[in-house]
Amino acid sequence: MVEDHRSVVRRSEIPGSISRPVVTPLYPSVVYRSTDADELDQQYEGHVAGYSYAREGHPNADVLAAKLAWLEGLGDNDPQGVVTGSGMAAVSAMMLGLLSHGDHIVAGNQLYGRTLRMLDNDLRRLGVDTSLVDVGDGAAVADAIGASTTMLLVEAVSNPTLRIADIEALAEVARDNDLLFAVDNTFTTPRMFRPFEHGADLVLHSVTKMLAGHADVTLGYVAARDEGVHQRVLDAAVTWGLTPSPFDCWLAERGLHTFELRYDQAERTATLLADALAAHHGVEAVIYPGRSDHPDNARSKALFDDRSGTMVSFRLRGDRAEVNAFIRAAEHISFAPTLGDVSTTISHPASSSHRRLTVPERTALGIDEGFIRVSVGIEDARLLVDELVAAVGLATSES
Ligand SMILES: *Cc1c(COP(=O)(O)O)cnc(C)c1O
């Protein structure tokens, strides 16, 4: 009997082609085959390049990492960073790779909610102590540093209050005290701010947000300039299983092609929106770093040049009833707790991201019932601004 080697169960050879695809192929393969044990040996020894198992690395993650590294200003010879399965996985990989029992972290007191929760609960449980401070105040940060402090973690712009960290002072404090200075650059994006140029040792991203940009991918990224630091984060990501799926990386790469266009369009609209809202009697205050009435406007100009971001926060005159009326009136705009999508989203921190805080705690941050955050998208600017301004008018016309 003739054996048929063309069983459908057997793996096929990939058809040869002298021409190559222009789009990065998607590599869903969990595993990679070698010719023989000697070849595999050479690969494990690092003499030849090769993939082995998808959790350890795959082409789609590496292509994406190289693009993100380039955006953050890293060179070809720098480590290219680690892509992770979510923004929180990036935070986790950094913590698990770089901290030990007994270490102390100083971090911003207005970080992303889940990051705060990790610092407050999970890391403490694992024996890592944390101090949360106002990172707009370099002296307060310096005061919080003790003998066991090893890391300083900040976001350049706070959410949703859009206050700006004193990055130059913090970088100096980190340098003087030999701390790893980590910046979560999700809100600012490398279009607005490149932390490595301001003394950061690590840069983190929720790629989920503006970098991927289409609300269909959950991914994260963490980059370190130092090879040893990079390797520890990579090992933690692989060991703790925080690495990403090829398809998500493929989608994020596709999203990234238009990142700069999307950012610029959204920022132009954000500026128009901030000014239009500020002119409306139904708005108590607009919070936008590019406006001269923003408390950190001078710092914004110094740190971000002419960039002001794609997020606009404001205080609607009124209470929950007016907020509900506003959200319902802006019927074509999603009321959804995310940011960075091509489509504008509105969020209400008092009922979502900051609901676990007491009213006095929220008030201390400047977040009241009327506080609304807009993540500006790339739809037609005039339509968007008109709809939001009209919604403010409808919601506040009675009061
Ligand atoms: C969303 C976000 C995260 C977490 O990212 P996920 O992709 O949702 O896990 C971390 N930091 C900031 C600033 C974020 O906005």
pLDDT tens track for 365-378: 899 999 999 999 99
Pocket test for ligand 1, best of 114, 188, 206 (most atoms within 8 A of CB): 206
The CA distance from 340 to 213, in Å, is 6
Mean pLDDT over all residues of the chain? 96
User: pTM to 2 decimals?
Assistant: 0.96
The CA distance from 266 to 380, in Å, is 10
Q: What's the Cα-to-Cα distance from 130 to each of 80, 226, 233, 259, rounded to whole Å?
A: 29, 24, 20, 34
The CA distance from 311 to 231, in Å, is 34
Residue 268 Cα, ligand 1 centroid: separation in angstroms?
24
Q: What is the CA 78 to chain-centroid distance, rounded?
A: 21
Atom 5 in ligand 1: which residue has the minimum CA distance? 87
Q: Kindly list the protein residues whose Cβ atom lies closer than 6 A to any atom of ligand 1.
A: 86-88, 112, 115, 155, 184, 186-187, 206, 208-209, 218, 220
Q: Of all residues in the chain, what percent carry a pLDDT higher than 90?
A: 93
What pLDDT is stored for residue 356 in this prediction?
Answer: 86
How many CB atoms are closer than 10 A to CB 206? 29
**160: preceding bond cis by omega (within 30 degrees):** yes
Q: Is the pLDDT of residue 311 over 60?
A: yes
Contact indicator for 190, 215 with CB cutoff of 8 Å: no
How confident is the model over 343-353, as pLDDT tens digits? 999 999 999 98
Please give the structure tokens belonging to residue 395. Answer: 């919601």
Across the range 122-133, mean pLDDT stands at 97
Q: Is the pLDDT of residue 271 over 60?
A: yes
What pLDDT is stored for residue 100 in this prediction?
Answer: 98
Instruction: Tell which atom from ligand 1 comes closest to the C-alpha of 219.
Output: 7
Residue 269 Cα, ligand 1 centroid: separation in angstroms?
23
Band of pLDDT at residue 1, cut at 50, 70 and 90: low
Amino acid letter for position 34: S
Atom 4 in ligand 1: which residue has the minimum CA distance? 87
* 386 or 355, higher pLDDT: 386
Q: Is the pLDDT of residue 398 over 70?
A: no
